[in-house]
Amino acid sequence: MESKIKKLLEDVESFNELTAEKVEDFRIKYLGRKGLLTTLFNDFKALPSDEKRKWGKPINELKAKATNKVASLKEKLNSSSDSEKSDQKDWTREGLGVKLGSRHPVNLVKNEIVNIFERIGFNVSEGPEVEDDWHNFTALNFPEEHPARDMQDTFFVERNPDWALRTHTSSVQVRMMESEKPPIRTISPGRVFRNEAISARSHCIFHQIEGLYIDENVSFADLKQTLLYFAQEFFGKDTKIRLRPSYFPFTEPSAEVDVYWGLKNEVDYRMTKGTGWLEVMGCGMVDPSVLDNCGIDSKKYSGYAFGMGVERIAMQRFQISDIRLLFENDQKFLEQFSSAL
């Protein structure tokens, strides 16, 4: 017994390999379930009791030594592994490549539209997504019983029925008219909310860009020319537009703007419902009472406003058939636009 213990003790003390594999082999050899120490303990159990008294302590000490040895070698391995690894770097290995994200198609289109209007002197204005009744409806001439105020169209805030999620960014235009003096030339991009059933064509959240120009002697001709400039910058040099009479509570007269898209193939027929014309936005001359509501003298100033849905234009531009794709954030879908910048 004595010589066995002594031999093992010497082996344990002299062991000094520093690789993870060797240390693990050592641990199994000594401390494993069928290791040398287990065998030693089994031998020990078979000893007569006076012998047991003599060898119990040395055997336990041997076990403690082996356990400590494994622990300290492992610790050394861990702390040295970083510096060792850096010595073993394979400098010839190919890089892993960084995966770049891409801009969302809604953002691409929004940026392009904003750029086009910035080039002719419009600034960008933003406002809150939770609005009060005044900025979203009342200042804009929506009569008390107007259907757009209805629970079916508007998400109201339960805690305060005067608040709602804005249904258009015209609310930002009201804020601009209240806080700035003419001339005002501003576009207001932002998220808007309408309580509509979600389908391939409509969503309860979408983005708008609305424009506003207020100055002395602003006329409908200015509006038409600005929209033509926009359409030709965005859709192409020879683009034609047409205006159809329409109605909005805050503009008078009001119009719907169509862009000529063409009827070359089946997709064109589907997109334009067989007319060749795409409806892209609403517009009109700001109603004088709206100017007065916002503290602008309607006898001295006039202005025009227009507003378009960004998703709809993005869908036209990228031939996307279902608006829901724009909100799902499926990487495979979004990656397609990485080169569209």
Classified as helix, coil or strand, 304 is strand
- Choose between 27 and 207: whose C-beta lies nearer to ligand PHE: 207
Query: Considering the complex, what minimum distance in angstroms separates the CB of residue 262 from ligand PHE?
Result: 25
Query: Considering the complex, what minimum distance in angstroms separates the CB of residue 260 from ligand PHE?
Result: 21
**Exposure string over 12-36, b if 16+ CB within 10 A, otherwise e:** beebeeeeeeebeebbeebbeeebb
CB 217 within 8 A of CB 248: no
- Choose between 105 and 309: whose C-beta lies nearer to ligand PHE: 309
Classified as helix, coil or strand, 184 is strand
Residue nearest to ligand PHE (CB): 307
Instruction: Return the amino acid letter for 148.
Output: A
Query: Considering the complex, what minimum distance in angstroms separates the CB of residue 284 from ligand PHE?
Result: 5
Cα angle value 243/247/252 (rounded, 5°): 85
Between the alpha carbon of residue 203 and those of residues 148, 165, 218, 311, the distances in Å are: 16, 14, 35, 10
For the chain, give the number of residues: 341
Query: Considering the complex, what minimum distance in angstroms separates the CB of residue 248 from ligand PHE?
Result: 5
- Choose between 188 and 272: whose C-beta lies nearer to ligand PHE: 188
Pairing of strands 251-260, 205-215: unpaired
- Choose between 137 and 248: whose C-beta lies nearer to ligand PHE: 248
Query: Considering the complex, what minimum distance in angstroms separates the CB of residue 335 from ligand PHE?
Result: 31
- Choose between 248 and 337: whose C-beta lies nearer to ligand PHE: 248
- Choose between 102 and 316: whose C-beta lies nearer to ligand PHE: 316
Pairing of strands 184-193, 123-124: parallel
Q: Which burial class, exposed, middle or buried, applies to 257 when counting CB atoms under 10 A from its CB (0-12, 13-18, 19+)?
A: buried
Query: Considering the complex, what minimum distance in angstroms separates the CB of residue 216 from ligand PHE?
Result: 20
Cis-peptide into 253, omega within 30 deg? yes
- Choose between 62 and 280: whose C-beta lies nearer to ligand PHE: 280
Token look-up 């003419």 returns 182
Binding site for ligand PHE (CB under 6 A): 168, 170, 210, 248, 251, 282-284, 305-307
- Choose between 23 and 223: whose C-beta lies nearer to ligand PHE: 223
Query: Considering the complex, what minimum distance in angstroms separates the CB of residue 307 from ligand PHE?
Result: 3
Query: Considering the complex, what minimum distance in angstroms separates the CB of residue 306 from ligand PHE?
Result: 5
Tell which residue, 248, 236, 245, has the closest CA to residue 316: 236
Tell which residue, 280, 285, 133, has the closest CA to residue 214: 285
